[in-house]
Amino acid sequence: MTVPEGKANKTATEAAVEAATEAAGAAGATGATGATDGAADPTRPRRRQARGEARIAQLLRAAADVFCTSGYTASSTNAIAREAGVSPGTLYQFFPNKEAIAVELGDRLLDRWRETYGAAFDQSHTELPLDRLLDAVLDPLIAFNCENPAFFVLMHGSEIPGRITEAHDTLHATMLTRVESVLADYLPDMPAPQIHRIAEMAFMVFKAGLDLVMASEGEERTAYIQELKTVMFRYLDPLVGDDASCPATAEHIDTP
């Protein structure tokens, strides 16, 4: 059968395009996996990955700023893209929607929060006097929240993605257990149920005080931090101080 000249030329052109496409795809696959024949630059995949991570970090910083300014619910991917100085199309190369951005930011902040409270509740701190113990535990926790206000927004919003809420609830339970452990070292003879109640009360006092700290700035924030420590000290000192067996009175309670 004789193939018309036009059809033959079209078939040859299509074959050439397919061959070129396959060659390009093979080259791209080699670059993506890092495999080389000695001619390709083995550092190129690393640089591409580094650029991608840098872009993700840029977008997450922008999202943190937007969430803090507008709140999670009122924020949008367009606003995050504008804050990052990129197009919405660039943002969608890395995140499909606002929820995905929030989850990634929340996961990273939660990881850093775990490291922070892990160091704050170091077992060696139980050897300190109560006022110094409060400094050792509360200072890094407060500092983290002040330095990462988006963490506060993501952990307290009413429409935050469920995955973040679940992770935060788990973290809350873990921290409460750490507080109980510290109190148990100070109060070895106290029944576990009572230690649990004291730990919950101390934890809730801290959370309430932190709300006031985060709502303030400058000298006012510093003042609220001191007030929070004073409240915690006055609550715990009659329990774990040298005069723990004595009723709490204004005469024997000193502020730190």
3-state SS track over 174-233: HHHHHHHHHHHHHCCCCCHHHHHHHHHHHHHHHHHHHHHHHCCCHHHHHHHHHHHHHHHH
Instruction: Look at 155 and 88; give whichever has higher pLDDT.
Output: 88
- Report the alpha-carbon distance of residue 72 to residue 161 in Å, rounded: 10
At 86, which amino acid appears?
V
Mean pLDDT of 63-83: 95
Q: What is the pTM of this model?
A: 0.71
Note the pLDDT of residue 158: 65
**pLDDT band, residue 1 (cuts 50/70/90):** very low
The per-residue pLDDT for range 53-65, each reduced to its tens digit, is: 999 999 999 999 9
Q: Which of 152-156, 173-177, 208-212 is predicted least confidently?
A: 152-156
Q: What is the pLDDT of residue 155?
A: 82
